[in-house]
């Protein structure tokens, strides 16, 4: 506020997608001359986009992906909106590849996310979960799921350590040896090697929590298999001792979130143990988080450039008014390589809003349905 001491900032805390319309609805957005977006996920952006269209409030939308970024202005009935162009969807990997034949780090990271649900969250929601009545039940189902300790009984450190060792042995020793005995990997380029969890977890002591993620540089270096066992034991202990009732653990509310430090610690440890079994490259916590969230780590300089571009567009709207958005505002790309003229920023004209047929076409029907929603 040193640059503009007469300015006033009023903050609001909440999640616009899930909070009640009375708080962050159309009337809330009508109060503003312009809205600037700084969101990091598609669902939230779509939500704000639709509210601004309904409120007839200009929206300055921006985003970055590593060294790349863009800034655009959205104004109802003038420009294309955020949803006019399709957005890339998150890639989905076959269950059989995740469960049995991983070949890339991302396969093991997805497996780690599913194991998090199986051990910590709602087990039936995990793709690794198997029904009790199944004919070919994996050896890890009983040690991992059926023997989960009861939170209300406040299990001792010894019981937590025993459960962790039993679960890891079933996952990385017994199950792998079972698959090898069935010739599941006969002819494969890389034959998996089962871990000796008993030896890896030999240094674990009940009640002694020393997670590698908390060590100096722990998030940027690759953990050893022994450290991964230690990390998982620490997380299991933290989750059990921190939970006050069963809903705090073993429920859908404990879903994986890339921004959850606990969840990412677990996934990183499980991923590395799984990857080393299948002779796949292991990664650090920092790298695993980027893959798990299907994101490229943010670069502060790119964010600053794009934020500056948003301010430029803001000044144009405040100076000329929202009716002149199409004439004075630009869609600006932030590039990694210079243009022919030596610039890293490439401004282009905004795309006009598409005019759909009012009847007779699927697009026209969809457009009318959207208009009714906005109204």
Q: Which residues are catalytic?
A: 96
DSSP string across 37-105: ----SHHHHHHHHHHHHHHT--EEEEEEETTEEEEEEE-TTTB--TTSSPPPPPP---HHHHHT---SH
Residue 367 tokens read as 């457009």
CA contacts within 13 A on the Cβ side of 100 = 13
Residue 96 tokens read as 């059989």
Residue 265 tokens read as 């610690």
User: Quick check: 305 and 334 in contact, CB under 8 A?
Assistant: yes
Q: Which residues of 122-151 are buried (b: 16+ CB within 10 A; e: fewer)?
A: bbeebbbbbeeeeeeebbbbebbbeebbeb
Q: What is the number of other CB atoms lying within 10 angstroms of the CB of residue 258?
A: 16
Nearest Cα to Cα of residue 119 among 154, 164, 152, 151: 164
Number of residues that make up the chain: 375
Phi then psi for residue 366, to 5 deg, are -65, -40
Residue 192 tokens read as 């998996």
Beta-bridge partners for 120: none
Nearest Cα to Cα of residue 329 among 86, 53, 83, 71: 71
User: Quick check: 167 and 119 in contact, CB under 8 A?
Assistant: yes
List C-alpha distances in Å: 332 to 29, 76, 142, 210. 24, 19, 55, 48
Q: What is the DSSP letter of 224?
A: P
The H-assigned helical ranges of the chain are: 21-24, 26-30, 42-55, 95-99, 105-119, 141, 157-169, 175-181, 197-200, 225-242, 261-277, 285-292, 300-320, 325-328, 362-374
């Amino acid at each position: 506020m040193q640059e503009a001491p007469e300015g006033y900032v009023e903050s609001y805390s909440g999640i616009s997608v899930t909070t009640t319309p009375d708080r962050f609805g159309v009337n809330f957005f009508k109060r503003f001359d312009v809205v600037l977006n700084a969101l990091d996920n598609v669902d939230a952006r779509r939500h704000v986009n639709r509210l601004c269209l309904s409120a007839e409030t200009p929206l300055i939308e921006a985003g970055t992906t590593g060294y790349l970024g863009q800034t655009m202005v959205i104004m109802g009935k003038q420009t294309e909106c955020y949803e006019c162009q399709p957005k890339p969807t998150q890639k989905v990997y076959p269950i059989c590849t995740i469960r049995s034949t991983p070949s890339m780090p991302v396969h093991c990271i997805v497996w780690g996310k599913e194991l998090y649900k199986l051990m910590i969250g709602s087990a039936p929601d995990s793709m690794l979960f198997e029904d009790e009545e199944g004919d070919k039940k994996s050896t890890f189902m009983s040690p991992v799921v059926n023997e989960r300790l009861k939170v209300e009984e406040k299990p001792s450190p010894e019981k937590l350590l025993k459960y962790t060792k039993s679960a890891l042995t079933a996952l990385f020793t017994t199950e792998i040896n079972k698959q090898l005995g069935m010739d599941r990997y006969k002819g494969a380029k890389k034959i998996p090697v089962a871990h000796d969890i008993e030896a890896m977890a030999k240094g674990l002591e009940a009640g002694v929590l020393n997670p590698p993620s908390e060590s100096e540089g722990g998030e940027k270096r690759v953990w050893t298999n022994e450290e991964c066992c230690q990390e998982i034991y620490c997380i299991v202990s933290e989750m059990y001792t921190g939970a006050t009732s069963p809903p705090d653990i073993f429920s859908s509310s404990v879903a994986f979130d890339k921004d959850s430090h606990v969840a990412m610690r677990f996934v990183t440890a499980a991923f590395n143990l799984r990857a080393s079994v299948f002779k796949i490259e292991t990664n650090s916590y920092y790298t695993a988080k980027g893959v798990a969230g299907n994101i490229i780590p943010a670069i502060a300089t790119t964010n600053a450039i794009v934020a500056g571009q948003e301010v430029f567009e803001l000044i144009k709207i405040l100076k000329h008014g929202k009716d002149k958005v199409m004439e004075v505002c630009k869609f600006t790309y932030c590039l990694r390589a210079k243009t022919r003229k030596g610039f890293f920023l490439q401004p282009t004209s905004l795309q006009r809003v598409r005019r759909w047929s009012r009847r007779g076409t699927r697009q026209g029907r969809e457009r009318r349905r959207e208009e009714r929603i906005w109204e």
